[in-house]
Structure 1
Amino acid sequence: MSFQTGVGPRTAVVTGAASPRGIGFATARRFAVEGWAVVLLDLDEAGAKSAADTLAQDHGVAALGLEVDVTDQESVRAAAAVVAASDLPPVGALATVAGVASPVPFLEVDLAEWRRVVDINLTGTFLACQAFLPAMIDGGYGRIVTMSSVSAQQGGGVFSKTPYSAAKAGVLGLTRSLAREMAPYGITVNSISPGVVDTDIRAGATDAENEARLAASVPLRRQGTPDDIAALIAFLASEDASYLTGTTQNINGGSYIA
Structure 2
Amino acid sequence: MGSFCIDDAVAVITGGARGIGLATAEALAGAGARPILLDRDGNAANQAAEALGAGASARQLDVTQEAEVDAVFEDIAREHGRIDILVNNAGVAIRRPTTELSLADWQRVVDVNMTGAFLCARAAGRVMTAQGAGAIVNVASIMGLSGGGLYPNISYQTTKGAVVNMTRALAVEWARRGVRVNAVAPTWVETDFIAALKDNPEFVSAVERLTPIGRLAQPEEVANAILFLASPAAAMITGHVLPVDGGFLAQ
Q: Identify the residue that residue 154 of structure 1 maps to in structure 2.
A: 146
Q: Distance in 2 between matches of 1:130 and 1:142?
A: 13
- Scaled by the length of structure 2, the TM-score of the pair is 0.93
3-state secondary structure, aligned to 1:146:
strand
3-state secondary structure, aligned to 2:195:
coil
Amino acid at match of 1:195: T
Q: Identify the residue that residue 13 of structure 1 maps to in structure 2.
A: 12
Amino acid at match of 2:56: A
1:93-137 Cα distance to aligned partner (Å, 9 max, x none): 100011112210110011001101111111110000011112222
Q: Identify the residue that residue 30 of structure 1 maps to in structure 2.
A: 27
The yes-or-no answer on 1:236 pairing with 2:229 is yes
Q: Note closer, same or farther for the CA distance 1:51–1:105 as it changes in structure 2 (3 Å cut).
A: same
The yes-or-no answer on 1:213 pairing with 2:206 is yes
- Within 5 Å, give how 1:199-210 maps onto structure 2: 199-204=191-196, 206-209=198-201, 210=203
Q: Identify the residue that residue 250 of structure 1 maps to in structure 2.
A: 243
Q: Distance in 1 between matches of 2:101 and 2:130?
A: 42
Contact 2:188 2:194 in 1 (8 A): no
Contact 1:102 1:161 in 2 (8 A): yes
RMSD, matched Cα = 2.2
Q: Distance in 2 between matches of 1:213 and 1:101?
A: 20
Q: Identify the residue that residue 62 of structure 1 maps to in structure 2.
A: 55
Contact 1:92 1:136 in 2 (8 A): yes
Amino acid at match of 1:168: K
3-state secondary structure, aligned to 1:144:
strand
Amino acid at match of 1:223: L
Displaced runs of 4+ in structure 1, greater than 4 A?
2-8
The yes-or-no answer on 1:132 pairing with 2:124 is yes
Give the C-alpha shift of residue 140 in structure 1.
2.9
Aligned-residue sequence identity (percent) comes to 36
- Within 5 Å, give how 1:75-90 maps onto structure 2: 75-86=68-79, 88=80, 90=82
- Which of the numbers 73, 89, 102 marks the counterpart of 2:94? 102
| Structure 2 unaligned blocks of 5 or more | none
Contact 1:145 1:237 in 2 (8 A): yes
Contact 1:197 1:223 in 2 (8 A): yes
Q: Distance in 2 between matches of 1:142 and 1:134?
A: 10
The yes-or-no answer on 1:121 pairing with 2:118 is no
Q: Distance in 2 between matches of 1:6 and 1:194?
A: 23
Give the C-alpha shift of residue 206 in structure 1.
4.9
Contact 2:4 2:31 in 1 (8 A): no
Contact 2:7 2:33 in 1 (8 A): no
- The count of residues paired between Structure 1 and Structure 2 equals 250
Contact 1:118 1:163 in 2 (8 A): yes
3-state secondary structure, aligned to 1:182:
helix
Contact 2:109 2:156 in 1 (8 A): yes
3-state secondary structure, aligned to 1:168:
helix
| Structure 1 unaligned blocks of 5 or more | none
More helix by share: 2
Give the C-alpha shift of residue 215 in structure 1.
2.8
The yes-or-no answer on 1:168 pairing with 2:167 is no
3-state secondary structure, aligned to 2:115:
helix
- Scaled by the length of structure 1, the TM-score of the pair is 0.90
- Which of the numbers 40, 44, 60 marks the counterpart of 1:43? 40
3-state secondary structure, aligned to 1:91:
coil
3-state secondary structure, aligned to 2:94:
coil
Contact 2:6 2:33 in 1 (8 A): no
3-state secondary structure, aligned to 1:143:
strand
